[in-house]
Structures are given as structure tokens and as C-alpha cells.
Amino acid sequence: MQNQRITDTVPEPELKTTITAATTITGEIRGQGDLSLEGQCTGNIEIGGLLFIGKTGSLKGEAAVENIIVEGRVEGQIKAAAKIEIRSSGTVQGNIFCGQIAIAEGAFFDGKIKTKKGNLLTPEYFVEKRKDLQPGQNNK
């Protein structure tokens, strides 16, 4: 299953939370299921599913997740147990620890990438072909 996007491999969640663009949170967020962040969060996020940071979303802090898709902005360390995908509008400033990573053409990344075992990991770069695809949509 190599070269598959996160949205191709993650099943539809039973638990999904959305933080809208009009919302600002300061503090820690923890839970199971998926989280869609369209607003701003200053603090740490620990999610047992997919963290989707939309184009209007931003995180200043650390993220510990199963999978993450970044269309917005992250300033801080990311630990993804499985995959991270930084889309063309995404910006990540901080170190990444993950199993697999894909970075779209046009995305910005400043930091180091390591596997869970501490080995340096070379990202897979891709050109986004599907526009406006968010987790849970069936646009293929």
C-alpha cells in the first residue's frame, strides 16, 4: 500500500470533532477519534486518530497523533505513529517523527524528519491532483 494518500487508507471515523475557523483554543486537546482543526490552537494535541489541519487552521504546540494532514500551519513538533501528509498550502516549522511522510509541491517545511527508530527519513514528494479533498469525502 505504498504511495497511498492518508484519506485513501483511513476508515470513516465513528468519533469526529471539528473546531471551526471562528474558534481559538489555548490548552491541551486529548481524545480518540479524528479532529478537524479549522481554527487556532495554542497548546498540545494528542489524538488517537487523524488530525486534519485545514487551510484556516493553525497549531502552535506539539501534536501526537496516528495520522496527520496539514493544509494550514503547524509550529512545533509532530509525532505521527503512521503517516503525515503536508499539502501544497501547508506550512510546518518543527521536527517530525513518523513512519511515512508525503510533502506536496509548494508546501513549506523547516525541520528534521526522523522515523520512530530515530533514522533520518527521506520524504516522498507529490503534486496534488485532487483539490478540496477533506477526510470523509469520496472525491476520487
Q: What is the pLDDT of residue 140?
A: 40
Average pLDDT rounded to a whole number, residues 85-107: 94
Region of residue 55 (phi > 0: left; psi between -120 and 50: alpha; otherwise: beta):
alpha
pLDDT per position as a tens digit, 46-85: 999 999 999 999 999 999 999 999 999 999 999 999 999 9
Comparing CA positions, the residue from 92, 94, 86 lying closest to residue 111 is: 94
Residue ranges per structural domain of the chain: 6-126
> How far apart, in Å, are the Cα atoms of 118 and each of 1, 14, 61, 95, 121?
23, 33, 21, 12, 9
Is the CB of residue 96 less than 8 Å from the CB of residue 80?
Answer: yes
pLDDT band at 116 (very low <50, low <70, confident <90, very high): low
Which pTM value belongs to this model?
A: 0.77
